[in-house]
Chains A and B, each alone.
Chain A
């Protein structure tokens, strides 16, 4: 029983962290250009800076 009291909150918190992470990445535009992201990795330039804060990419 004690294990349950510990494991259930742990499972929920870990899952919730995953969910929060996904919602954050969605909001920050990381899912806007899946094709582009797959191609960018082939060009090892360092001018691949992330968008400025507050920017919503189209």
Chain B
């Protein structure tokens, strides 16, 4: 069981010697979790689960987030209380089953249900019986992270709109089916000599079904059209609304006067098709947003405040006051800006500055929200919260940069801007032509003019973009790329230049030991024996390079300096081991000093993502120029640029310098894709033509980016650009198809020979053509 290929029986990670390995577990937490599951008789979980190799396994963490659950408990009538939580680590149906089974066996729990789509847990329990922390303890022990959230806040406007669209779609779908059934009878009646009375009856029944459905289903379009008209613009919804209203009105008029031409079927099925497109688009966007919200919520960690009387309590970052004392444990992210009052540690500020090497922090050094405290606990005096933090300043810079992008006009809007006036002018001139020039009475002339509006009603045109968007973002979502913004794919297809951030984007964001020959296997074994005892990233990298080593005993960690063991071995900074301060190396290093031997230097480099060089090459093949824009030291940026094959690089760029560079590129007419993960990248992400952020980046950069990609590889980036370009060409084809259909149908309508049957066939055929064309993008299903 303990061979190198053995996997932990709970979390599935490969075992690497050490305690607990004999029983088949990687750590005590996993062993406890396995016993807990077996004791409850839920072993079925291990047989049924299907773990995603790309996702982190469910692994219990020693210290979890300490969010205040009681703040989120909502009392319900009848003595029960409910709690809504986001769950991290749910991957398959077995996870859902395990969590629900564990919870329903807890005393006091009346109902527990996990939503696999949104990865949220809804819990109901009797508050007098148990407190939520006890109830949730077994789920946490198994390795799922739970974060409470406010369902009211996440029940967003978009979510309500999505539901309203689905209801409208159902109603119009029902009406479309039934009215079409009646219309087929009328059309058949034309051939078989149906009497006008029967036809009138069928028209009346159609009107009865269609008109309420039209009123109900048209609301989303009418609201958008009205808003556009009020703002002095026109969009695709204006001709849709006018077309449907006129169609219904004319059909009603015909029905009242027992005429032959009622277009109820066209009006309702048009709305039905359009609502399908709208709903699918809203749902695709909603899913992406939902996934991003999930990531954001899991990052919100509470801050441990120490009151003057020494008591400790967890407080959300926004409720901390300036001047309070806050304790930041080792390994924790700092939630506020503050000055260190007590303690010495190493701080990683990669997300904020782009620098991959941790810096030492002691009393008096300022710390910023977003940095990570690595080696020892620190006490901070809060110097800024909320709007005053450096973080908030970056957010403001980002919002400023975002305003430029708000001016982007989607292709569909550009088409609609000239389409609507052209169509309405054509209808008007048809009316004028027939009534004045050809001397027709005004009612039949008006009927012909209205039929022009009916056939030009942009059904296929309005579907051309959303259907392609839905198919494209669905395909990208399966590849782990979330499309957040409606026009992101359109903008992504236009780019000609890619700017990469370095740390965490091109690189994995953690250092790796360089095999530079400055040390031998003995040195490594001695150093790793100490390094295993530390959580410092350099020490971890060293330990990872020698996994089989036996940990040294009684190792003392000197925060900000290094490690020492009682037998005189020291591992740490240059100064700590007593090496005279000679030339500064290119990257971070650790020194090993042993009694009676000369010190050995281990140097480290932040390793590029496994497919970074391939991705850069692939981007080059797509005809894009690539640039590296890093906040790290120029020497490090240059080194990485050489490794991954980027010739154009800039180091030492702060957030403002990055925005400046992007503005300069935009001014030079370049359309730039920005790829970045850190807080320092967020303004640049907002300033770029389009931006992508990795899912493990800072929350603010994920919020600023148009697309978010998941996983350790950069390949989704190339895939996203490819899909965006295909989507663009399909959208253009769809526009061509829709306009071609209009070119054929409009002369017929102007000539006055369009009947409801022709209108129905033409409209459905063109819509279906557009949808089928868009579905060509689905290829490459997993």
Residues of A within 8 A of B (CB): 1, 4, 8, 11-12, 15-16, 18-19, 22-23, 26, 31-36, 38-40, 42-43, 45, 47, 49, 51-52, 55, 57-58
Residues on the B chain within 8 Å of A19, using CB:
170-171, 174
Residues on the A chain within 8 Å of B155, using CB:
58
Q: Which of B93, B151, B177, B181 contacts A36 (CB 8 A)?
A: B93
Asked if B201 is an interface residue, CB under 8 A from chain A, the answer is yes
Q: Given A33-B115, A34-B117, A36-B116, 16 more contacts at CB 8 Å?
A: A4-B198, A8-B182, A19-B171, A22-B170, A23-B167, A26-B167, A36-B96, A39-B92, A39-B96, A39-B116, A42-B48, A49-B111, A57-B113, A58-B118, A58-B120, A58-B122
Asked if B67 is an interface residue, CB under 8 A from chain A, the answer is no
Are B151 and A33 in contact, with the CB atoms below 8 A? no
CB distance from B173 to the nearest CB of A (A): 8
Q: Which of A34, A40, A47, A52 contacts B93 (CB 8 A)?
A: A40
Within 516-555 of B, Cβ neighbours of A (below 8 Å) are at: none
Q: Which of B115, B124, B171, B182 contacts A52 (CB 8 A)?
A: B124
Q: Which of A23, A47, A57 contacts B122 (CB 8 A)?
A: A57
Q: Which of B84, B93, B113, B209 contacts A39 (CB 8 A)?
A: B93
Residues on the A chain within 8 Å of B198, using CB:
1, 4
- Give chain B's interface secondary structure class: helix
| Complex-state Cα separation, A38 to B117, whole angstroms | 11
Asked if B696 is an interface residue, CB under 8 A from chain A, the answer is no
| Complex-state Cα separation, A29 to B151, whole angstroms | 15
| Complex-state Cα separation, A27 to B230, whole angstroms | 34
Are B151 and A43 in contact, with the CB atoms below 8 A? no
* Interface size bracket, B side: 35 or more
| Complex-state Cα separation, A29 to B120, whole angstroms | 14
| Complex-state Cα separation, A43 to B118, whole angstroms | 20
| Complex-state Cα separation, A19 to B308, whole angstroms | 63
Which of B113, B120, B167, B177 neighbours the largest number of chain A CB atoms within 10 Å of its CB? B113
Asked if B483 is an interface residue, CB under 8 A from chain A, the answer is no
Closest Cβ neighbor of B155 among chain A residues: A58
Q: Which of B93, B113, B174, B209 contacts A43 (CB 8 A)?
A: B93
Q: Mark B613-654, 1 if CB is under 8 A from A, else 0.
A: 000000000000000000000000000000000000000000
Offer 27 A-B interface pairs, CB within 8 angstroms, sorted by A. A11-B178, A11-B181, A12-B178, A15-B177, A16-B174, A26-B163, A33-B116, A33-B117, A33-B118, A34-B117, A35-B116, A36-B114, A36-B117, A39-B93, A40-B96, A42-B93, A43-B48, A43-B93, A43-B97, A49-B111, A51-B111, A51-B113, A52-B124, A55-B124, A58-B84, A58-B118, A58-B120
Are A47 and B174 in contact, with the CB atoms below 8 A? no
Given contact pairs A26-B167, A57-B115, A45 touches B174 in the complex (Cβ within 8 A): no
CB distance from A33 to the nearest CB of B (A): 4
Are B174 and A58 in contact, with the CB atoms below 8 A? no
The 7 residue pairs across chains A and B that have the minimum distance between CB atoms: A39-B93, A36-B116, A19-B174, A33-B115, A35-B116, A43-B97, A35-B117
Closest Cβ neighbor of A39 among chain B residues: B93
Asked if B392 is an interface residue, CB under 8 A from chain A, the answer is no
Are B154 and A58 in contact, with the CB atoms below 8 A? yes
Q: Mark B93-106, 1 if CB is under 8 A from A, else 0.
A: 11011001100100
Residues on the B chain within 8 Å of A47, using CB:
100-101, 104
CB distance from B526 to the nearest CB of A (A): 50
Within 157-183 of B, Cβ neighbours of A (below 8 Å) are at: 163, 166-167, 170-171, 174, 177-178, 181-182
Residues on the B chain within 8 Å of A16, using CB:
174
Which of B104, B114, B122 neighbours the largest number of chain A CB atoms within 10 Å of its CB? B122
